[in-house]
Chain A
Amino acid sequence: MSVLSCSGLSRRFGDVQAVDDVSFSIAEGETYGLLGPNGAGKTTTISMITGVLEPDAGEVVVAGQPMSTSAIAAKRLVGYVPQELALYPDLTGRENLRFFASLYGAARARVDHVLDVVGLADRAGDLAREYSGGMKRRLNVAIGLLHEPRLLVLDEPTAGVDPQSRNQIMDNVRALAAEGMAILYTTHYMEEAERLCDRVGVIDSGRLIAEGTRRELVEQLGERDRISLLLDGDLAHAATMLGGIRDVKSVAVHGHGLELVVDDARECLPVVLSAVTSNGVVVRSVEVNEPNLETVFLHLTGKALRE
């Protein structure tokens, strides 16, 4: 069942079409990565999904509730963690949480719970301005969790944080998704998207130009996994033999090695190694190259994600 459904979302600012006919959905327990270069329309899309901005066209529905700037019922279902540290530096961590708990109508007991979840319980009485960057980020996330939302929207939640805090935030996201929360996640870190997201959508110039799992996107672009083998023995015989394996699409000889194009390197590798060694060829080294989201992104947008 879809927790979030966006259809035909569009928004213009003056002459600029910031978001143009964007549609996607997120299921319960699913983590969806929205990737795009700066100025691609991610934040505008998120603003419409969270009810901060009214779309010019299209519709956002959260767990059956239509979202708009005045949709109180829908907003109760969404937790929002903005890119900026949207909290009061001159209040303590607990005071910040209590304030937002009152706006969400969340019980006070939730404040202590989320402090535990993000690992800030022992610093809850300190002013937020005295927190490290990573602690501020965790407090920023905690605010979005206060009211147990069905959909959690995280806009670059790990920007500029230390590895420890990043891992903690990512662990939190995984745990929340495992509990059934739908998660919309934007990031500039491709490895985060690959580790966390079940599906990703690539947005550029306001349009959603590709969507799917990593493997689906790779296949859409015609990219394949590659296995490079450095061997001692009869390379020609080995190449002929490996070419007969079903999942191996092509084999090329390069000096003392072979390069194989395969459907799924991880599944195919044991079969390939077994076939080579059973024919008396010695394997000196193995290298597996899987096209990643960075490759996909570069291919689709012509630029790296962090540009």
Chain B
Amino acid sequence: MKILSIAWVNLRRVTRDRTGVFFLVALPLMLVFIIGASFGGATTPLLGVVGEAGALRTEPSVRVKDFPDEAALRAAVEHGEVSAGLVRTSADTPRMLVRADRTGQQLRMLVTTTLTREANRSAAGDFVASHTGLDRATALSVVDSVRVEPVEVRTSTTGEALFPQDFSGFDLGAANQLVLFTFLNALTTSAALVESRALGVTRRMLATPTPARVVVAGEALGRVAIALLQGLIVLIGSALLFGVRWGDPLGAAALLGAFALVSGGAGLLVGSLCRTQQQSTGAGILLGLSLAAFGGCMVPIEFFSPALHTVAFTTPHGWAADGFAALTRRGGDLLTVMPHLGVLLGFAVVLFVLGAWRLRRAVTA
């Protein structure tokens, strides 16, 4: 009960601080959005059209927005308001305006295919009308009624795709932001632990009928609770706001729990080692960002060189990020991430033992 009281006070203090709430809630979700959008997000691309869009209006994989003239369309493409532009007037050959990015190239293929199909249909209709004497509308309906079975093309998969076909930019960003912010905020909020000691509150707790081990355990649980809260905010927030898929729920919950323990342990150690709040905040930012970078939270591990890939797996971030990748990109489940959980719990035990030992020394010396 006393352990819970101490942990609850830690949680309460973090949520009382408006700046803390910004870093806990707003910033991680903003970054999930920004990074997700940068990697293509999960939205249907928007095609700007001057003239007749034709069959493109019924294409499910693109949305169409009409523009009055080419100048307006060119400005919209250049400013990123639309993913690409199509100028299609009766006088000229259709022309596309695209930026040098993946979405532009994909839309170019889609427009070419759709317009070709539309031209073929029109030509076939004309042919049927001229040979049968049917009017053009009836001839086109005859063409539409002809069902052509698609040609089966056998495909052999070799090598692995970096990301699954339906994997969105939000899916990619969310897991990494969860790992980054869970650890980072557990470390920076450990300044509260330093403040408790500086204010004499920890010493006062020891004058109450509360054993030192309970005080230390309560502070440790408080660190874990803050880390867990941070992880849940990113996990649930990104799922609700951006439709992020986290894979097997049991596996995701176990990974989050294990990484919250690692983060809580690290927060306890930093909070017990530092003498001032400035020290703990500085150390928290330095460790939080550098471990996140080496652990593949800023650039996906898949893009790492072999040497850096090895370095990534010396950090808890690397194991957590890879665990989430296994769940979200490789279709893994709880059993798949068991090795990740084992390593993360190992990190947690070491950090908690060191942090508890150091904190006990700091408050009872």
* Interface, chain A (partner B; CB < 8 A): 50-52, 69-70, 72-73, 75-76, 78, 80, 82, 84-91, 95, 99-100, 102-105, 127, 143
With contact pairs A90-B16, A91-B16 given, residues A103 and B203 touching in the complex (Cβ less than 8 Å): no
Chain A residue with Cβ nearest B9 = A99
B204 touches A143 (CB 8 A): yes
Name A84's contact: one of B6, B200, B206, B208 (CB within 8 Å). B200
B16 touches A87 (CB 8 A): no
Chain B residue with Cβ nearest A89 = B199
A69 touches B364 (CB 8 A): yes
Bound form: Cα–Cα A75–B2 in Å: 15
B204 touches A104 (CB 8 A): no
Name A50's contact: one of B2, B199, B207, B210 (CB within 8 Å). B207
Known: A85-B199, A127-B16. 5 other contacts (CB 8 A): A75-B209, A80-B204, A84-B200, A91-B13, A102-B5
Q: Is the interface of B mostly helix, strand, loop or mixed?
A: helix
B211 at the interface (CB under 8 A from A): yes
Q: Is the interface of A mostly helix, strand, loop or mixed?
A: loop
Output the residue of B6, B199, B207 with the most chain A CB within 10 A: B207
Chain A residue with Cβ nearest B212 = A69
B12 at the interface (CB under 8 A from A): yes
Name A104's contact: one of B13, B201, B209, B211 (CB within 8 Å). B209
B209 touches A86 (CB 8 A): no
A70 touches B200 (CB 8 A): no
Name A95's contact: one of B12, B205, B364 (CB within 8 Å). B12
Bound form: Cα–Cα A84–B201 in Å: 9
Bound form: Cα–Cα A82–B208 in Å: 12
A103 touches B212 (CB 8 A): no
9 example contacts (A-B, Cβ-Cβ < 8 A) are as follows A52-B203, A52-B207, A70-B211, A78-B207, A84-B199, A86-B200, A100-B204, A104-B208, A105-B209
B166 at the interface (CB under 8 A from A): no
Within residues 194 to 250 of chain B, which ones have a CB less than 8 A from any CB in chain A?
A: 196, 199-201, 203-212
Residues of A within 8 A of B5 (CB): 99, 102-103
A103 touches B210 (CB 8 A): yes
A-B contact count (CB 8 A): 70
A133: min CB distance to chain B, Å: 15
Residues of A within 8 A of B207 (CB): 50-52, 75, 78, 80, 82
Chain B residue with Cβ nearest A100 = B208
Bound form: Cα–Cα A73–B211 in Å: 11
With contact pairs A102-B2, A102-B5 given, residues A86 and B12 touching in the complex (Cβ less than 8 Å): no
Bound form: Cα–Cα A69–B199 in Å: 20
With contact pairs A52-B203, A82-B203, A103-B2 given, residues A88 and B9 touching in the complex (Cβ less than 8 Å): yes
Name B1's contact: one of A52, A100, A102 (CB within 8 Å). A102
Bound form: Cα–Cα A102–B214 in Å: 13
Residues of B within 8 A of A51 (CB): 206-207
Residues of A within 8 A of B16 (CB): 90-91, 127
Bound form: Cα–Cα A104–B212 in Å: 14
Bound form: Cα–Cα A72–B212 in Å: 11
Residues of A within 8 A of B212 (CB): 69-70
Chain A residue with Cβ nearest B201 = A86
Residues of B within 8 A of A73 (CB): 209
B149 at the interface (CB under 8 A from A): no
Chain A residue with Cβ nearest B206 = A52
Within residues 156 to 200 of chain B, which ones have a CB less than 8 A from any CB in chain A?
A: 196, 199-200
B17 touches A87 (CB 8 A): no
With contact pairs A102-B5, A103-B5 given, residues A87 and B201 touching in the complex (Cβ less than 8 Å): yes
Bound form: Cα–Cα A104–B12 in Å: 20
With contact pairs A90-B13, A99-B9, A102-B2 given, residues A72 and B211 touching in the complex (Cβ less than 8 Å): yes
Chain B residue with Cβ nearest A101 = B5
B175: min CB distance to chain A, Å: 32
Within residues 250 to 284 of chain B, which ones have a CB less than 8 A from any CB in chain A?
A: none
Bound form: Cα–Cα A87–B195 in Å: 10
Residues of A within 8 A of B2 (CB): 102-103
Chain B residue with Cβ nearest A87 = B201
Bound form: Cα–Cα A80–B206 in Å: 10
Bound form: Cα–Cα A105–B214 in Å: 14
* Top-7 shortest CB links A-B: A86-B200, A86-B204, A84-B200, A80-B207, A102-B5, A103-B208, A75-B209
